[in-house]
Amino acid sequence: MIHLIGAGGHAKVVLDALLEGGTNLSGVTVRADAPAPDLLGLTVGTPSVAPALTGLSFHVAIGAAEVRRRLYVEAEAAGGAPLTVIHPAATVSRFATVADGAFIAASAVVGPRAVVGRGVIVNHGAVIDHDCAVGDFSHIAPNTSLGGGVTVGARCLIGAGAVILPGVAVGDDVTIGAGAVVTRDVASQQTWTGVPAAPKAS
């Protein structure tokens, strides 16, 4: 049995990936913190984390990094085992490392010697090239491109269509705006936007 945590848009994408990979709807339960309509035909229960998850796999299907991290920790503490979900239409090198609880969407590419951390989202069409490292609970949005050897810290959001040039290092808790082109290193806890990307004025 798979315990899916979340009932929003990202949860739809994750559930669809599970079904495309051969999981039967009867093998999935869905829970969220607030009442929600059904998720692609499944009833949504509350709260997000059941009191006991021993013997169950779980996947936290929530976009917000800190919420995803918190619920991941709670679900592990309840005895659950984090489940990595990879859409069958994704391309993941046999030489890549994908950690527990990560999600790789359709048309995403993870290259050789790339490392994807715990609870990371690699969304539709995103490319994580060779020798990249993406920190725990980060979100690589649709059609983003990380050049070879890029490092992204923990809990980052790399916006849709952004490009990070090869060898660039991005710190923890960073937001890169949609469509930005990052040509140099980014310190932790900053927001960068534009082409070429620069720190956003506060």
CATH number, domain at 102?
A: 2.160.10.10
Closest CA to 60 of 135, 121, 123, 106: 121
Question: Is this structure's pTM higher than 0.85?
Answer: yes
Same domain, yes or no: 73 and 100:
no
Q: Which of 83, 106, 122 is the last residue of a domain?
A: 83
The pLDDT confidence band at residue 84, using thresholds 50, 70 and 90, is: very high
Same domain as 113, residue 72 = no
In contact, 54 and 76? CB cutoff 8 Å: no
Provide the 10 A C-beta neighbour count for residue 22.
8
- Would you say residue 202 has pLDDT above 80? no
**76 and 120 belong to one structural domain:** no
pLDDT value for 35: 83
- Structural domain total, the chain: 2
Residues 56 and 92 in one domain: no
